[in-house]
Each structure stands twice: as C-alpha cells, then as structure tokens.
A = this chain, B = another copy of it.
Amino acid sequence: MAEFTVSFDGFGPVQVPGGTLLTEAAVRAGVQIAQPCGGQGRCGRCAVQILNGGVRRRSTLRLSVADVAAGYALACQAVVEGDAQVSVPAQETLERTLTTDRTAAEVTAPAGYDPQCDQTIRRLFLTLPPPSLDDQRDDWSRLQTAVRAQTGMENLQISLPLLRQIGSVLREGEWRVTAVIDVGEPPGGYETSGRLVTLLPGHTEIPLFGLAIDIGTTTVSVWLVDLIGGEVLAQAAEYNRQIRCGEDVISRVIYASKNNGQAELRQLVLQSINTLIERVVQKGSSRLQVAGEQVVKATIVGNSIMMHLLLGIPAESIRLSPFVTAVNHPPVFTAAEIGLDIHPAGTVICLPGVASYVGADITAGALSSGLDDALAVSLFMDIGTNGEIVLGGRDWLVTCACSAGPAFEGAGVQDGMRATRGAIEEVWIDGRTAEPTWRVIGNDKPRGLCGSGLISLLAELFLTGVIDKGGHLNQHLNTKRIRQGENGWEYVVAWANETWHGRDITITHVDIDNLIRAKAAVYAGMAVLAESVGVPLDSVEQVLIGGSFGKYINVEKGIQIGLLPDKPWENFKFLGNTAVLGAYYALLSQTAQQRISDIAARMTYIELSADNSFYEAFTSALFLPHTEMVRFPSVVQEMAVHGETSDFFGKIGCLKGESYVHHR
C-alpha cells in the first residue's frame, strides 16, 4: 500500500499508509487531539486545519461551509490519501481544580471500627526460633509455622517475588519480623487462609494505608486511608484522562474497539489514578510518614464500563443488545496485575456491579447512602454522566439505568460546560421582561452553562412562559433574547459583551429538547421501577441523591422541570460522592465489603430497553413537568403564582400549537 507523509505543526512528520485516519496519524506523531465523542464525527471537537495535501473528508456534519472552505476537517473523519500538512488548533485543556465534595475531616470511620476484627489487612509481630543444625526447617515452613501458632491460619499464600525475599528479611531481622497478611480473600474462609503481602525485618509498628478509588466517567477520586486508625488522610480528584477519547461511556467503548484503543484507555485511566495516588501520598506524608510501599490495599468503584476499561477487558458487549458485561464481580487481583503504583502485592478489590449500566458505584452508594438498610421505601439516584436509580430498602431493591446522556454535565448542549470556573450555575428570569440574571462559579465572566445552571434555566424559562410545557420557545414575546440562530430558534442567556469569550451564550431549541429528553428518561426510570414492584412513586419516603451533580442541584428547580419527584425538601438528602464513600467503608471493613456483594446479588435489575412500560412512561414525561400534572402539585401551585404576576403567562394555552416553535 502507498505510504504518505503527514506532518502536524510542531511535530516531526510520520509515514502512514493511504487510508489512515488523521487521528491515527496524530497518535503516531505524538499529537494529542481530543475526541469527546470517541471518534464518531458527532462532536466536532477534533477539527484540524489542512494546510495542504491529500486528505479526504468522510463527513463534515459538524463543520460549517465556511470551516470547510478554510480547510478545516474532522480528524476522526479525515482519511489520508496523499502527503499532507496539518495544523492542530490549541486543545482545550481541562482545569484541574476539582476538589472532592466531602473533606477528609468530615468523614469518620464507622462507629466501633476495630482493625483487629474488621480489617482484612493484619500486621503480625513474629519471633521465630533461629535455625540450627538440630532444626533445619526451611525459611518458608518456619514462617508459616509462626503465623499458624499466632493465628491458627492453616493456609498462607505467598507470591514468587516475595518468596525470593523472605530469607534475607528473616536474617536481617534476626528472626524477628513483621508480617503483613491479607486474610480477606476466601476460599478457605476468613482466618483459615491468608496471603502474605509483605514481610519486614524487626517488630515495626509500620502504619499501613489503603486507597478508596472512584473512577467516574468524568472525574476520578482517590482517598488515602489509615487502615489501622480508619482516618481519611488525604483526598484528591482529577478529570478522568480518558475524556479526550470520549465524554460518555458509549463513546469510550467505541474508541476502545478501534486499533489500540483498549490499551490506550487503560493507560489513561491508570495515569489518572497513579497521578492521584502520588498526590495523596504526598499530602498524607505531611501528617504521617507515608510511602507508596506502605499502601497495601485498594477498593475500586466505578460504573461497569469504567471497570472494564481499567481491567483492560473488552466492553463491546455492554454497548450492544442484550447489553451484558464480561464480568460484574471481578476477582481480587494484586496492584501489580492491575497497574496501580502502590505495593505490588497490595490487594485490589474491584467492588461488584449489577449489570451493564448499574455498576459498583451504585452498589457502593446503596451501602453508603444507607439505602440497603432503610426501613422506609427509599429512592437512591446517582445522576452524573449516566443516571442510575435504585428503589427499595432493607427488604428489596430494584434498579435501572436511564440513558440520560451527559446533558446534565454540560455535554450535548451548545454552550454547556462542566461545573468549573466561569460556569453559570443558577439563573433567574424576570417574568415580565424575560431578562435573566445569573450566578457564575468563581464570580467570573460567564463561559457557559453547567448542569445546575441548565436545570435552573429550564425551570425559569418554563415558569415564566418563555417556553411552553413542550419546551417550545415563544417567538411572540417582546424580547430580543428569542431569535433565530444558526441552529434554529434560541434564547440568549448572556450577550457577547458580558461573556468571557466575547460570544453570546445561548440555549437552543435542540438543547432544550435534549434536556427534556434527559429529565424524562430519569423520571420514566423511577416510574417504571415503582410500577415493577407495585408501589406508587408517591410512597417514597426519602430521596437519596448521590454524585457530585446532586451537590449543586436546586431541588425546587429539579421538581419544576419534572426531573425529581414532587416531595417536600426535607425528604431529599444530598450525599455527594456516595460511591467513593462506599469504597471507603469496604476498604475498612470486610463486613461492609460483604454487604456490597450482597447488595449486588439482591438488586433486581430492570432493563428499560426491554420494558414496554418504559416507552410510555418516557413519552408521558416529555413535557414540563409531566403530562400528568397531578404528579407535580407543587409545580401547579407555583405556575399559578407566576400566572398572576406575569403579563403573558395566560397566553400559553391559546398560543400553543400556533406560534410556539415546533422543532421535531
């Protein structure tokens, strides 16, 4: 096959065969090009400028005619057919200003935590009889006998690398050693079997540490924990470095199935985790002597796709009907096998998930939120990049996943962004003038709208009659903010002269439609779950909201758009990152770990795509707040209040179907 030379500005040229995608050529050249949609040509973020040469555009869906005229092409859709010179626009760099939602000081070990009984990692001080001509037992038998004498443990396992070291450690310690043993991995049952993790010379009160790790689609969080004391010593979080290969899980699975994608995604998330490990170990060192070698255990949670990508297990079957994972409950591995930069023999427990779209983040959250022990019917929601819902309590649990899409994380919305500096997080609209005011994260000039800003905006637009219950913009309002834009009708939230980038910030009718579909999917999921167990959604006594999104959401607005069930505020509990908290509990206590396994085993998963009632429930929810207004009495009341104060609210009924924009 013919080879061509492609050069990217600032990087040495590479030789590639004809037919190679520009994104692949970029990888070879060492150039990073973001592909939020996973290289499907859907997001337009990988646009590059072809300065000259033979590149064929397979798709230009996301490019304007002017862009194409200026030489732009989507790198993921551009095929090399000759020598080419390519200019790569500066890539959007992610701000690394994330903090975890719960400070270390706010977390306390479970009451009565006893490392001698709850913790699977044990530290034993052993004194062995030295060998002599009358006692020539081998080092390994001698050590096993000492462990058996102190613990009754019949079956102690050892790795080959450690077996190579025990002789010198025993002699260095003059037959007094400290053994770190993991007793937590049956078979054989607790206490009858264990695995030697490390052996140290002398009797040393070495502190031992563990990590609770949450791999979110967007954010990776790591907590450093003192395994003996139970305290959280340090926390760190950063964006999942896989983001540049796809913002949502499906894009990543697609990316993984191409070329070397599987290995690349595994390396990226390992880089995220290992960077965070380095950071928490550094932070922890200021309080206590922590070395990476002393970190001997980790628990990991994440959705099923994150778990597969971490383990390097193909996840393609998750994406395609009938949507099954390769593994819901991975075996326990060592840190070296997985690639974590802690003690290589450290125990790594990937907590169990339930199904393709209900992962260990949810089972861990069901524990840490108290759902699995609740006496009253409770609803647990984790609305992040995906939306998972669990209904139930101590006696039963049903769960489903709604393909909410990443709209609430700011993706799939023209001016959407993550909840970082410059994001509009709350909006108020004047019912008389349709003029908005907003609050921006960091008190900066606005750059876009984050999830809570979008919910707030949608609720305000609805309550003030700027959109109707179908989400259609009222073109007849006397305001310049409603206008026909490049992508159809839109509402201008901020004028160019007010914004950080000097461009208008708008919400388009497509954005509104996406948001309504997302909230409808979530609400329909809840409705189907309730119906499946014959319980009215009304009977839910508490709503437990996990995920960072939950932290910022305004319940009132959430109810107004029909995302959350219409309950009094006091019935909502915002729990922040319940996933990492569950991982933390499992890290400390084998009982908690077992409880999460039990949760995974007893949760009934309802596959919405196979559920006939779901489509109906979804269709009914495609209105603000819902077709059946009786489900949202507080919103009806609020609308009445607005109706009194707004001079055009009354028109909604008569204008509907005439002047509202129908965009489907």
Query: A-side interface residues toward B, CB under 8 Å?
Result: 131-141, 155, 157-158, 160, 163-164, 166-168, 171, 186-188, 192-193, 311-314, 316-317, 321-331, 333, 337-338, 355-356, 605, 607, 609-610
* Alpha-carbon distance A2/B582, docked complex (angstroms): 59
Q: A133-B322, A187-B188, A328-B138 are in contact. Are A314 and B164 (CB under 8 A)?
A: yes
Residue of B nearest to A304 (CB): B138
Q: A140-B326, A610-B134 are in contact. Are A164 and B312 (CB under 8 A)?
A: yes
Minimum C-beta distance from A162 to chain B (A) = 10
Minimum C-beta distance from A158 to chain B (A) = 6
Report how many copies the assembly holds: 2
Subset of 10 A-B contacts with CB under 8 Å: A131-B322, A133-B322, A133-B323, A136-B355, A138-B325, A138-B329, A140-B329, A155-B187, A160-B338, A187-B192
Residue of B nearest to A131 (CB): B324
* Alpha-carbon distance A609/B136, docked complex (angstroms): 12
Minimum C-beta distance from A601 to chain B (A) = 10
Residues from chain B with a CB closer than 8 A to the CB of A186 are 155
Residues from chain B with a CB closer than 8 A to the CB of A131 are 322, 324
Q: A160-B338, A187-B155, A324-B131 are in contact. Are A167 and B136 (CB under 8 A)?
A: no
Residues from chain B with a CB closer than 8 A to the CB of A338 are 160
Q: Which 4 A-B pairs have the closest CB atoms?
A: A133-B610, A140-B327, A187-B188, A167-B326
Give the residue of B139, B155, B355 whose beta carbon is less than 8 angstroms from that of A325: B139
Minimum C-beta distance from A377 to chain B (A) = 25
Asked if B607 and A133 make an inter-chain contact with CB atoms under 8 angstroms apart, the answer reads: yes
* Alpha-carbon distance A607/B133, docked complex (angstroms): 7
Asked if B355 and A139 make an inter-chain contact with CB atoms under 8 angstroms apart, the answer reads: no
Asked if B163 and A322 make an inter-chain contact with CB atoms under 8 angstroms apart, the answer reads: no
Asked if B167 and A322 make an inter-chain contact with CB atoms under 8 angstroms apart, the answer reads: no
Asked if B610 and A163 make an inter-chain contact with CB atoms under 8 angstroms apart, the answer reads: no
Residues from chain B with a CB closer than 8 A to the CB of A323 are 133, 136
Asked if A139 and B610 make an inter-chain contact with CB atoms under 8 angstroms apart, the answer reads: no
Residue of B nearest to A316 (CB): B167
Residues from chain B with a CB closer than 8 A to the CB of A133 are 321-323, 607, 609-610
Minimum C-beta distance from A161 to chain B (A) = 9
Q: A164-B312, A187-B193, A313-B163 are in contact. Are A322 and B140 (CB under 8 A)?
A: no
Give the residue of B140, B314, B609 whose beta carbon is less than 8 angstroms from that of A167: B314
Minimum C-beta distance from A165 to chain B (A) = 9
* Alpha-carbon distance A141/B171, docked complex (angstroms): 45
Asked if B605 and A163 make an inter-chain contact with CB atoms under 8 angstroms apart, the answer reads: no
Give the residue of B160, B167, B314, B329 whose beta carbon is less than 8 angstroms from that of A333: B160
Asked if A326 and B138 make an inter-chain contact with CB atoms under 8 angstroms apart, the answer reads: yes
Asked if B314 and A138 make an inter-chain contact with CB atoms under 8 angstroms apart, the answer reads: no
Minimum C-beta distance from A479 to chain B (A) = 48
Residues from chain B with a CB closer than 8 A to the CB of A356 are 136
Residues from chain B with a CB closer than 8 A to the CB of A311 are 160, 163-164
Give the residue of B132, B135, B139 whose beta carbon is less than 8 angstroms from that of A326: B139
Minimum C-beta distance from A500 to chain B (A) = 45
Residues from chain B with a CB closer than 8 A to the CB of A322 are 131-133, 135-136
Residues from chain B with a CB closer than 8 A to the CB of A155 are 186-187
* Alpha-carbon distance A555/B46, docked complex (angstroms): 84
Minimum C-beta distance from A160 to chain B (A) = 5
Residues from chain B with a CB closer than 8 A to the CB of A158 are 331
Residues from chain B with a CB closer than 8 A to the CB of A313 are 163-164, 167
Residues from chain B with a CB closer than 8 A to the CB of A326 are 138-140, 163-164, 166-167
* Alpha-carbon distance A355/B139, docked complex (angstroms): 11
Residues from chain B with a CB closer than 8 A to the CB of A355 are 136
Residues from chain B with a CB closer than 8 A to the CB of A187 are 155, 187-188, 192-193
Q: A131-B322, A167-B317, A355-B136 are in contact. Are A160 and B337 (CB under 8 A)?
A: yes
Residues from chain B with a CB closer than 8 A to the CB of A609 are 133
* Alpha-carbon distance A322/B321, docked complex (angstroms): 66
Asked if B163 and A330 make an inter-chain contact with CB atoms under 8 angstroms apart, the answer reads: yes
Residue of B nearest to A313 (CB): B164
* Alpha-carbon distance A133/B168, docked complex (angstroms): 56
Minimum C-beta distance from A14 to chain B (A) = 29
* Alpha-carbon distance A293/B329, docked complex (angstroms): 28
Residue of B nearest to A333 (CB): B160
Residues from chain B with a CB closer than 8 A to the CB of A329 are 138, 140-141
* Alpha-carbon distance A270/B357, docked complex (angstroms): 46
* Alpha-carbon distance A329/B138, docked complex (angstroms): 9
Residue of B nearest to A331 (CB): B158
Minimum C-beta distance from A533 to chain B (A) = 18
Residue of B nearest to A193 (CB): B187
Residue of B nearest to A158 (CB): B331
Q: A131-B322, A164-B313, A312-B164 are in contact. Are A138 and B327 (CB under 8 A)?
A: yes
Minimum C-beta distance from A613 to chain B (A) = 14
Minimum C-beta distance from A643 to chain B (A) = 45
